[in-house]
Amino acid sequence: MGGRRLSDRGGRAGLNRRPSPEYRLVTSQGGLADLLVILGAQPRIAVDTEFHREKTYFPKVALVQVAWEGGLVLIDPLEVDLAPLADLLESDVVVVMHAAGQDLEVFDRVCGTAPRHLFDTQVAAGFTGLSSPSLSTLHERELGFHLPKGDRLTDWLARPLTASQLEYAASDVAHLLEIHDRLVRRLGDDGRLAWAEQECREMLVREHGRRNPDDAWQRIKEARQLRGPARDVARSVAAWRERRAAQVDIPVRHVLPDLGLVAVAQRAPKE
């Protein structure tokens, strides 16, 4: 689940921790092939990723976590080509994820595709009255225990990974199917399950086009407030910035900061 959510971890007084999840590492192409046979026979799987993108435009995947009824694996993408995961993602298997936006970008980057059937627990929880809950919050509310805390500055690309890093990563998916069960049951009872499923489908469409350079200006609050020619300039400069960042694989802010972009738009030459 990458660096962006490490700070979600926490815990309330009185909550317990469950025993550390059991997992195995997949570090060979043959091991991944054997795993895909198992996963392809499952009705659903829980999936998460750890990645870095602080110094790059594209996320660099460092670990993929997958759990199913009776098993949990951590796939090392520094040792294994993840491209074969594409067939699994495009199959009838339901892929349960939490706050999947950036994870979807990871899979689009390394597999060229996204889950055909996605159930995002953060999206679904919104239909139960929670507004964008963290993964830790869902564990506390639904299962009554908190997740292990992690180091916000952990380097997931370093090898070997420590036991605490691996435990942290495994815990992200170890109980996600339990949460899926509870959310499906609650939403079904409330007549809202179809709404949540539709929103997950729409999320797939939105995320697929999220990096359209021509829409980049919409992610800049100050640019959205511009009007007339200034907005047109902001739109053009934001699109250029997005393409340039992708071309050299650096964060957009390293090409031109948001405030610099807005300043250019506001001071564009007059004809």
pLDDT value at position 13?
44
Q: pLDDT-based confidence at 154, cuts 50/70/90?
A: confident
Of the listed 142, 172, 197, 207, which one is catalytic?
172
Q: pLDDT-based confidence at 3, cuts 50/70/90?
A: very low
CA angle centred on 45, ends 42 and 49, rounded to 5°: 145
Q: What is the layout of strands, in order, in the sheet containing 117-120?
A: 24-26, 71-75, 60-68, 44-52, 94-97, 117-120
Q: Residue 209's CB: how many other CB atoms inside 10 A?
A: 9
User: Would you list the DSSP string of 164-178?
Assistant: HHHHHHHHHHHTHHH
Q: Residue 265: in which H helix or E strand, if any?
A: helix 258-266
Of the listed 103, 105, 120, 142, which one is catalytic?
103
pLDDT value at position 158?
94
Which residues make Cβ contacts (< 8 Å) with residue 51, sequence separation at least 6?
2, 3, 59, 60, 61, 62, 102, 106, 156
When pLDDT is averaged across residues 41-62 and rounded to a whole number, the result is 94
Of the listed 168, 197, 207, 242, which one is catalytic?
168
Cβ 169 vs Cβ 3: under 8 Å: no
pLDDT value at position 132?
85
Taking the C-alpha atoms of residue 234 and residue 258, their distance in angstroms, rounded to an integer, is: 10
Which residues make Cβ contacts (< 8 Å) with residue 229, sequence separation at least 6?
268
Locate tokens 């564009």: which residue?
Answer: 268
Q: 151 an active-site residue?
A: no
pLDDT value at position 9?
42
Taking the C-alpha atoms of residue 162 and residue 245, their distance in angstroms, rounded to an integer, is: 32
Q: Residue 60: in which H helix or E strand, if any?
A: strand 60-68
Q: 50 an active-site residue?
A: yes
Q: 172 an active-site residue?
A: yes
**Do the bridges between strand 94-97 and strand 44-52 make them parallel or antiparallel, or are there none, so unpaired?**
parallel
Of the listed 50, 120, 197, 207, which one is catalytic?
50
> Alpha helices of 130-227 — where are they, by DSSP H?
135-138, 163-174, 176-190, 193-208, 221-224
Dump pLDDT digits (tens) for 191-247: 999 999 999 999 998 887 667 899 999 999 999 999 999 999 999 999 999 999 999
Of the listed 48, 105, 108, 142, which one is catalytic?
48
Which residues make Cβ contacts (< 8 Å) with residue 238, sequence separation at least 6?
213, 216, 217, 220, 223, 261
Taking the C-alpha atoms of residue 139 and residue 142, their distance in angstroms, rounded to an integer, is: 5
Taking the C-alpha atoms of residue 48 and residue 2, their distance in angstroms, rounded to an integer, is: 9
Dump pLDDT digits (tens) for 7-43: 334 334 456 667 789 999 999 999 999 999 999 999 9
Per-residue buried b or exposed e for 225-241, using 16+ beta carbons within 10 Å of the residue's own CB: ebeeebeebbbebbbeb
